[in-house]
Each structure stands twice: as structure tokens, then as C-alpha cells.
Amino acid sequence: MSRAPEMGRASTGQKIEQAIEKALDPLATALRRATTPTKVIVAAPGKPGLEVSPLAVPFPAIPAIGGVEIATARAGFYKHERDDLVVFRFARGTTCAGVFTRHKIGSAPVDWCKRQLAADGGGEDVRALVVNAGCANAFTGKAGADAARRTASEVAKRFGCRQRDVMLASTGVIGVLLDDRKIAARLADVEAALDADASATGQWAVAGLGIMTTDTFPKGAFAECQIDGRTVRIAGIAKGSGMIAPDMATMLAFIVTDAAIAPPVLQALLGLHVRTTFNSVTVDGDTSTNDTCLLFATGASGAPRIGRVGDRRLKEFSAALDKVMLDLAHQLVRDGEGATKFVRVTVDGAASPASARKLAKSIADSPLVKTALAGEDANWGRVVMAVGKTEEPVDRDHLAIRFGPHVAAVDGAPSPTYDEAAMSAYMKNAEIDITVDVGSGRASATVWTCDLTKRYVEINGDYRS
């Protein structure tokens, strides 16, 4: 944040900064002083009355990424006072790729983005991203599609671009038609905020807050790497707390890099890493109508443009992108509705990677396993149940189960060294590892999940209240 003026009327930019500081109060001072990529705490539940998750992590300080500006506004999709509209403005020539839900009832903004990116030249010059919280605009028929189109049209007029160059995303209640007039009415304020001189961390942090629904903390991640000797930056935000079992929940993720990368290459990278990041987490096993992950490359770093998937110069960038995506995916689990445990489930010895993944997800999605975790009960019999019900190849007589370093079962039977006291003490940890060897091959997979508590029922019981 810049310093307050010594005298005279505050400029529009200064007013915007003051609004950001108010939104992040009492931590605006920390944001103002954040000049290095250390962590800063930003926590404000998206819905009144929610306590911040005990597994919450600080929001990272994100330095400026050339070619992108971000602003938020209150469009009024929520009854209580909060920003619920986020707009990204990108430099000319920004490329884009996306991965979306495979839910059979996709939302209007998902349909819009998929259509624009699949068109000839799609993703070659994307100029804006518009995100609203509080209304999913899903299961709204032609009226919802028209509302999405009108939103893109209004933003395109403001930014001097084509409708197809505007990406859209929504999150919130399903079956409610988006009132696009609320977005159009705030675009002048948004444009003024985009032109303001706000800190990069402030922009990313308020954007993280603006897309939350039942989230209890904003989720951000940042990494740097080299492409042909040039430093490039990657930053992203995500939202999601319940209805999380991405299939590419209500999950949204937006990642921006200043690298110069062609759309087909971006798409290949996103598809590669989404499988082991966003598609390897689960809170409740439910996939949303609105799952969206968009990756933008502004080209502002000065690094050479990469136009071929096999280009060796992408190696370090690919690893950094995976790091950002995995960080965001883990934060979704850490903010699982009512979660008190962050759990890593690893299956080894599977017949194939697909089999290992299915087995791991069966354990991670099991309500019986998850409630045992909530009760800090190492009920490994429930793990056995979750493994066996999948009909995947499993060698019962070689099955082994560990909770952290503690062996519960080995060679298809209770471990002779099983120590109930040691196991019970381990289960009190906030982070728990469950490892299962099914003895059928050499493949492995890891899925991250959380426990299932009474609070999950409470939050979802009055979701629309």
C-alpha cells in the first residue's frame, strides 16, 4: 500500500487503497510493509458466523506480476456487506487455458469459457476475467447463458476487446439466475480500482476474499522460476470449502504467470498437473457444476515465447506451476467445511496408477473413515472396508496399513507390534498420514482429504440461510 497523502483531497487510487486496507483491517499495516515474499495473515470468513479453520495458512506476499491488474467490488449478491465481484484485466496478447468440471449439469460461465477457448484462435488474446460469488448461475437455462453473454459484452466494451476475450466464473447457490445488471452497475468502480496504485499483495488478497463462499480464509500461492535465464513469476488464488471433489467443487482457481506461452502448451501443462493437484483432493466427494481452473500467461516477463510442449526450457516452469497448484489444492482441504484434520492418503503396491488412485479416493471419501479421524480414533478396520469395496485388485494376505510411522496391519492381519496408546497419541495431530499397501503391483497414488465433523452438517444445513 502507498502512504496516505500529507494534504489535499484523496485521489481515486488512494480511496481504493483505503478501501482495501479497511477490508483487510487490522492487518493493513502488515500488507503495506510487505516488500518481500514472506507470509501475511489475511482471514475473514466469506459467510458471517463461520470460525476460521484451525488448519488455515497465511496468505503469501505476492510481488507484482506484469500484465495483470485486479480489482473487487460489492455487486450485492450477498445480503451482508462484502465484496463479491472480482475482475482481472490482462495486457494485450495474454494467452489462456482452462480445465473445467465434467459434471453433467455445467454452469453457464463454464459453458461460456469452454466455447471461447475451443474456438479458432481461442485463448490467444484474453483480456479479462470476471468472477462473482453468491450466485452460481448454474441450472438456469437459456436465461443464464444470456446473462453470462451480457456480462462478457459489458466488460468487453469497457476494455475495448471482443466478448470472446472475456472469461467468466461464478460460485454460489445453484438454480439462481445471475442478475448481470448488478455486475454492469459496478464496472465503473471496478475500472477506477484497476487504474489505482494498489500493492500487488493487496490486489491478490482482496481477490481471494472476494471469491469466497463458505471459505474461512483466502487461498493464495506464489512461485518464481527461470525460463532461458529470465525470471518468471506464477501466482494464483482459489476458493473452495465444501462440494469439493474436483473432476477436471464448488472449486475455482485462477493462476497468472508473466511467462510467454502459447495456449496449446498452457493447456498441456494445466492438464498434466491438475490430475495430481486439484483432482487429487476431496472434502466430501461431491463434484460441483462450476469447477473451473484457468491459467493465464501475460508474456510481460520478457522471457522467450514457448510454443512447443516438448521445449526443455519449460522444465523449471512446469515444476513451479505444479508447486502453486498443489499449494492451492492443499488449502482447499485445509478449509474443508468443519475440518480439524489435514489428511494424506497414500496407496502403494497397486496394480496400476488408476487403481491406486481409485483406492486412495475410496479411503479419502469414506464417511466412516473421515468420522473416525474426527474422533481421533485409529479405526483401521474402516480403511480395510474402504479398500475392499472398490473391487480393485487387492491381495488380502499382503495388505498393510500405517498411520504415520505406526503399523496397524501387516500381511493381511493386525500387526504384532500394534501399540494402541502410541496410535491414539498420533491421532491427536492436526496432520495425519494414512498409508496402505495393497500388494498387487508397483503403482502408487496420493489423495489429500480432511475429517468429517458435526460442523460440516451445521454449515451445509443452513447454506442458503
- Distance, in Å, from the CA atom of 59 to the CA atom of 187, rounded to the nearest integer, reads 27
Which amino acid type is present at position 113?
Answer: C
Beta carbons of 34 and 201 less than 8 angstroms apart: yes
User: Angle 263-274/315-334 helices, nearest 10 degrees?
Assistant: 50
Helix (H, G, I), strand (E, B) or coil at 196: coil
Beta carbons of 56 and 43 less than 8 angstroms apart: yes
> CB 411: neighbour CB atoms within 10 A?
14
- Distance, in Å, from the CA atom of 292 to the CA atom of 253, rounded to the nearest integer, reads 6
> How many angstroms separate the most distant Cα atoms in the chain?
79
**Whether 390 is catalytic:** no
- Distance, in Å, from the CA atom of 156 to the CA atom of 191, rounded to the nearest integer, reads 12
Catalytic annotation, pick one of 72, 140, 201, 250 = 250
- Burial degree of 185 (CB within 10 A; 0-12, 13-18, 19+): middle
Which amino acid type is present at position 125?
Answer: D
User: Which grid cell sits at 332?
Assistant: 482447499
- Distance, in Å, from the CA atom of 204 to the CA atom of 190, rounded to the nearest integer, reads 15
Helix (H, G, I), strand (E, B) or coil at 93: coil
- Distance, in Å, from the CA atom of 211 to the CA atom of 148, rounded to the nearest integer, reads 17
- Beta-carbon contacts of 356 under 8 Å, excluding residues fewer than 6 positions away, are 347, 348, 350, 443, 444, 445
Report the residue count for the chain: 465
Beta carbons of 396 and 363 less than 8 angstroms apart: no
Rounded to an integer, what is the distance from CA 240 to the centroid of its chain? 6
Helix ranges (H only) for 102-238 are: 108-118, 141-159, 180-184, 187-194, 200-210
Q: Which of 290, 240, 284 is nearest to 46 (CA)?
A: 240
- Beta-carbon contacts of 272 under 8 Å, excluding residues fewer than 6 positions away, are 318
> Catalytic positions, please?
250
